[in-house]
């Protein structure tokens, strides 16, 4: 039996991206689409049945962890058995939900299921087409991309990302959701992966569960994100004893924006 599936999307200031995602979800037909607006009322527009949730935005940055947890709680209250978290920038292939549902039935015990993400180039005049996105870009080179229908186990927990992943409700309850100590950009998804690993869960890449990531400038390049990245990296290091977002931190150190090496106990912003 196919599990009742809910898609959870958190958003702020991304109504056009959300509209494209919802057009893509029309071909997937989830049981419910839970859209969490962070400090705003998102415009839902056309697409599958949707429930809107709002969470306030504090001084520390966007409450990504809190918003995802709120979306999951709403989906579970609505009867969801499988939660699919989809970044607002991601447009799903029509079979994405089917592939996640099939994978959830194949794994034993708690698990995080991740689908390949293809990073699209900037949109052409008139925007991205509603079909044929796979012709525009291939899968991200730093992540596995199994053939359609295959399920690949993964031991490198640092590769987990929250752009597109699925989890059964029992597993979600075991993990307790995202740590809400994180606010703003970076770290909360890697933290969830470490929690899953500490519970003996599995991590799998799901062939065919493809999402297409709509282009936008890298968030790490936004000066407003620097303090958030540093604060969240320090929190992660205190919790787990190693540094997440290593590539970003090396890049920021090379630009003399942070004092960082992997032997440090604390990361600092250079003024």
Q: 201 or 270: whose pLDDT is higher?
A: 201
Residue 271 has pLDDT above 70, yes or no: no
Q: Which of 187, 184, 232 is nearest to 61 (CA)?
A: 184
Banded pLDDT at 248 (limits 50, 70, 90): confident
Per-residue confidence (pLDDT) for residue 142, from 0 to 100: 85
Enter the tokens of residue 130.
Answer: 């509603």
245-255: average pLDDT: 88
- Which domains occur in the chain, in start order? 5-216 (3.90.550.10), 223-269 (no CATH)
How far apart CA 243 and CA 249 sit, in angstroms, is 9
Residues in Cβ contact with 113 at an 8 Å cutoff, skipping those fewer than 6 apart: 100, 103, 104, 107, 165, 166, 167, 204, 206, 209
Per-range mean pLDDT, top range of 28-32, 139-143, 155-159:
155-159
CA distances to 25, 173, 231 from 239, rounded to whole Å, are 36, 20, 13
Summarize pLDDT for 63-95 with one digit per residue, the tens. Answer: 999 999 999 999 999 999 999 999 999 999 999
Q: Count Cβ atoms below 10 Å from residue 95 Cβ, excluding itself.
A: 16
Per-residue confidence (pLDDT) for residue 92, from 0 to 100: 96
Give the chain's mean pLDDT: 92
Length of the chain, in residues: 271
Residue 225 has pLDDT above 60, yes or no: yes
The pTM of the full predicted model, rounded to 2 decimals, is 0.94
How far apart CA 268 and CA 257 sit, in angstroms, is 9
Summarize pLDDT for 95-121 with one digit per residue, the tens. Answer: 999 999 999 999 999 999 999 999 999
Residue 220 has pLDDT above 70, yes or no: no
């Amino acid at each position: 039996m196919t599990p009742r599936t809910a898609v959870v999307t958190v958003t702020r200031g991304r109504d056009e991206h959300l509209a494209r995602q919802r057009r893509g979800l029309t071909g997937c037909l989830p049981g419910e689409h839970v859209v969490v607006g962070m400090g705003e009322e998102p415009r839902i527009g056309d697409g599958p049945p949707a429930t809107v949730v709002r969470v306030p935005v504090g001084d520390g940055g966007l409450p990504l962890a809190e918003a995802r947890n709120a979306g999951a709680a709403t989906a579970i209250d609505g009867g969801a058995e499988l939660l699919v978290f989809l970044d607002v920038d991601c447009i799903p292939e029509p079979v994405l939900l089917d592939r996640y549902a099939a994978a959830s039935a194949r794994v034993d015990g708690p698990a995080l299921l991740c689908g390949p993400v293809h990073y699209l180039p900037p949109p052409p005049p008139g925007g991205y087409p509603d079909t044929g996105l796979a012709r525009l870009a291939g899968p991200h080179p730093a992540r596995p991309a199994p053939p359609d229908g295959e399920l690949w186990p993964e031991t490198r927990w640092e590769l987990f990302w929250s752009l597109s992943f699925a989890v059964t409700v029992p597993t979600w309850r075991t993990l307790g959701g995202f740590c809400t100590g994180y606010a703003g950009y970076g770290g909360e998804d890697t933290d969830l992966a470490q929690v899953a690993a500490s519970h003996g869960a599995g991590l799998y890449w799901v062939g065919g569960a493809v999402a297409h990531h709509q282009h936008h400038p890298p968030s790490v390049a936004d000066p407003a994100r620097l303090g958030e990245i540093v604060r969240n990296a320090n929190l992660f290091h205190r919790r787990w004893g190693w540094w997440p977002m290593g590539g970003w931190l090396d890049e920021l150190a090379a630009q003399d924006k942070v004092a960082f090496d992997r032997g440090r106990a604390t990361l600092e912003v250079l003024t």
